[in-house]
């Protein structure tokens, strides 16, 4: 394929050199004439292991060239990949002006009557941009500049996951290969362009692809800070945090795994809140600040208040809470966030009915019973013996269990509003008109 790469920095040069090495005809474009001269002469403009050799090979084979002129690069090209910088502005917002300028340049060339392949031209962003930039800013810009030109062009987002220092290895052994697009032609172009990669291309919505890159970087940053926070505390306690974290990482079932990474409702139960508070107390006693872990408790409370606010924003008067224990298939009510939710809604004057397929208040004993009686003293009044009775003529259902009796009752009674707190209710409930997810 013939490809134009806009931006010859770390991402652009690696992408250009790797695509050229795999037989594509690549033309790099940059506003910086020095970088263009270097790439055209077979030298890498950035220091990155193995990149110099790849750029040299590309220039020698004639598969890789560079220019400051967008028209030279875009003429006859199947795709343009936009790899320009998206720095932070002083407010913390992302400055996407270079991306807009590059896409504007591409559109102007396409509209100028240049040669465009019969299938059209794919404009694909590799720069990291805030969700909504591609379909909300770049697609309208492209459409406006191409109006009346009779040129077919689609947009997409193909996030780059490479790390500087191991960029070439990461490019060829990418953990994920994703394109976000609503255009089948763009998806097909990207499939063909990157056919040499060992991972299959995943085609998703444009905003999902943009968000994925932010999720990855936010998670990586959180991991670093998590380990460093624990390290700061454990050192005070005379503990070798390296050893602790080595063992921690050996648990690939709960720790380094997909566990606990599904968006949903707040955590609770007899261990997580208690032990987190305990760790924060030890840190305070040692004058060690743990803002990330303190923030974890704060954000957990927001998960509850967000759902309360969503109920308050409606004109609902009655609420059914389906599921009360801190997780499905357990009757443990200690520090259950659903008990908090019920308590807050009752306090605000809502008519609350609760059904839990596992919790039987007459059989609760010990701390579990005390916890319920102290937090929800009116529990006997609000509990219903079946999901159907809890849902009868209710305005809003808040659902945390996918027990078959709950799913069946939701489908047959179809309450006007259902807020799914866990995302396991299945297509029958998700298809109901009143359905909405807590975070989707």
Ligand X SMILES: NC(=O)c1ccc[n+]([C@@H]2O[C@H](COP(=O)([O-])OP(=O)(O)OC[C@H]3O[C@@H](n4cnc5c(N)ncnc54)[C@H](O)[C@@H]3O)[C@@H](O)[C@H]2O)c1
Shortest distance, position 257 Cβ to ligand X, whole Å: 24
> Tokens at residue 238, please?
């005379």
Q: d(Cα 34, Cα 8) in Å, to the nearest integer?
A: 10
- Contact between 102 and ligand X per CB under 6 A: yes
Q: d(Cα 248, Cα 264) in Å, to the nearest integer?
A: 24
- Contact between 245 and ligand X per CB under 6 A: no
Cβ-based neighbours of 298, under 8 Å, separated by 6 or more? none
Q: d(Cα 285, Cα 72) in Å, to the nearest integer?
A: 65
Select from 31, 57, 197, 414 the one that contacts ligand X (CB under 6 A): 31
* Chain CA centroid to CA 273, Å: 25
- With respect to ligand X, which residue has the nearer C-beta, 128 or 336? 128
- Contact between 15 and ligand X per CB under 6 A: no
Q: Look-up: residue for tokens 């400055």?
A: 95
83 catalytic per annotation? no
- Contact between 12 and ligand X per CB under 6 A: yes
- Contact between 37 and ligand X per CB under 6 A: no
Shortest distance, position 85 Cβ to ligand X, whole Å: 4
- Contact between 32 and ligand X per CB under 6 A: yes
> Tokens at residue 299, please?
């954000």
- Write out the binding residues for ligand X, residues 120-149 only, by CB under 6 A: 127-128
- Contact between 44 and ligand X per CB under 6 A: no
Cβ neighbour number for residue 35 with a 10 Å cutoff: 23
Shortest distance, position 93 Cβ to ligand X, whole Å: 14
Cβ neighbour number for residue 120 with a 10 Å cutoff: 18
Please say whether the beta carbons of 434 and 399 come within 8 A.
Answer: no
Q: Are strands 417-420 and 435-437 parallel, antiparallel or unpaired?
A: parallel
- With respect to ligand X, which residue has the nearer C-beta, 86 or 206? 86
Using the rule CB under 6 A, give the single segment among 156-164, 326-334, 400-408, 429-437 that binds ligand X.
Answer: 156-164
Q: What residues form DSSP beta bridges with 123?
A: 80, 155
Q: d(Cα 268, Cα 48) in Å, to the nearest integer?
A: 46
Select from 162, 290, 407, 409 the one that contacts ligand X (CB under 6 A): 162
Catalytic member of 216, 249, 271, 287: 271
* Chain CA centroid to CA 68, Å: 35
Q: In 362-380, which positions are buried (b, 16+ CB within 10 angstroms) versus exposed (e)?
A: eebeeebeebbeebbeebe
The strands making up 121-125's β-sheet, listed across from edge to edge, are: 64-67, 25-29, 2-6, 79-82, 121-125, 153-157, 178-180, 202-204
- Contact between 101 and ligand X per CB under 6 A: yes
* Chain CA centroid to CA 136, Å: 18
- Contact between 9 and ligand X per CB under 6 A: yes
Using the rule CB under 6 A, give the single segment among 80-88, 149-157, 320-328, 337-345 that binds ligand X.
Answer: 80-88
Shortest distance, position 220 Cβ to ligand X, whole Å: 11
Helix (H, G, I), strand (E, B) or coil at 124: strand
- Contact between 48 and ligand X per CB under 6 A: no
Shortest distance, position 103 Cβ to ligand X, whole Å: 9
- With respect to ligand X, which residue has the nearer C-beta, 217 or 262? 217
Using the rule CB under 6 A, give the single segment among 73-81, 84-92, 300-308, 337-345 that binds ligand X.
Answer: 84-92
Instruction: Count residues near ligand X (CB under 6 A).
Output: 25
Closest residue (Cβ) to ligand X? 9
Shortest distance, position 86 Cβ to ligand X, whole Å: 4
- With respect to ligand X, which residue has the nearer C-beta, 194 or 267? 194
Q: d(Cα 438, Cα 412) in Å, to the nearest integer?
A: 22
Q: Which residues bind ligand X (CB under 6 A)?
A: 6-12, 29-32, 35, 83-86, 98, 101-102, 127-128, 160, 162-164
Catalytic residues: 271
């Amino acid at each position: 394929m013939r490809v134009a790469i806009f931006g010859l920095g770390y991402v652009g040069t690696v992408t250009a050199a790797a695509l050229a090495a795999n037989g594509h005809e690549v033309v790099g474009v940059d506003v910086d004439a020095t970088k263009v001269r270097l790439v055209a002469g077979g030298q890498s403009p950035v220091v990155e292991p193995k990149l110099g050799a790849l750029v040299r090979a590309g220039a020698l084979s004639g598969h890789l060239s560079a220019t400051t002129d967008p028209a030279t690069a875009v003429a006859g090209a199947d795709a343009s990949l936009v790899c320009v910088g998206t720095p932070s502005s002083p407010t913390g917002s992302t400055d996407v002006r270079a991306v807009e300028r590059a896409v504007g340049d591409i559109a102007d060339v396409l509209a100028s009557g240049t040669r465009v392949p019969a299938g059209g031209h794919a404009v694909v962003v590799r720069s990291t941009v805030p969700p909504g930039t591609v379909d909300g800013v770049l697609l309208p810009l492209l459409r406006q500049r191409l109006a009346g030109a009779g040129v077919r062009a689609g947009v997409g987002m193909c996030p780059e996951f490479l790390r500087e220092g191991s960029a070439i290895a990461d490019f060829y052994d990418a953990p994920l290969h994703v394109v976000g697009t609503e255009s089948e032609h763009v998806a097909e172009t990207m499939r063909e362009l990157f056919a040499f990669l060992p991972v299959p291309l995943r085609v998703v919505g444009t905003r999902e692809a943009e968000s994925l890159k932010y999720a990855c970087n936010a998670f990586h940053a959180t991991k670093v800070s998590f380990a460093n926070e624990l390290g700061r505390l454990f050192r005070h306690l005379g503990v070798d945090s390296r050893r602790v974290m080595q063992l921690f990482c050996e648990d690939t079932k709960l720790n380094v795994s997909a566990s606990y990474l599904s968006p949903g409702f707040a955590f609770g139960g007899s261990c997580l809140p208690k032990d987190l508070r305990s760790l924060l107390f030890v840190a305070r006693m040692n004058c060690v600040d743990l803002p990330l872990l303190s923030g974890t408790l704060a954000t957990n409370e927001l998960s509850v208040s967000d759902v309360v606010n969503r109920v308050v924003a409606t004109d609902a008067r009655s609420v059914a809470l389906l599921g009360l224990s801190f997780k499905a298939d357990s009757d443990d009510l200690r520090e259950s966030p659903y008990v908090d939710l019920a308590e807050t809604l009752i306090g605000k004057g809502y008519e609350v009915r609760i059904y839990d397929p596992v919790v039987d208040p007459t059989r609760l004993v010990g701390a579990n019973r005390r916890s319920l009686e102290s937090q929800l003293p009116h529990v006997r009044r609000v509990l219903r013996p079946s999901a159907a009775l809890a849902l009868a003529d209710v305005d809003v259902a808040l659902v945390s269990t996918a027990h078959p009796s709950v799913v069946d009752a939701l489908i047959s009674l179809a309450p006007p509003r259902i807020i799914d707190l866990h995302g396991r209710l299945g297509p029958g409930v998700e298809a109901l008109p009143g359905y909405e997810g807590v975070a989707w």
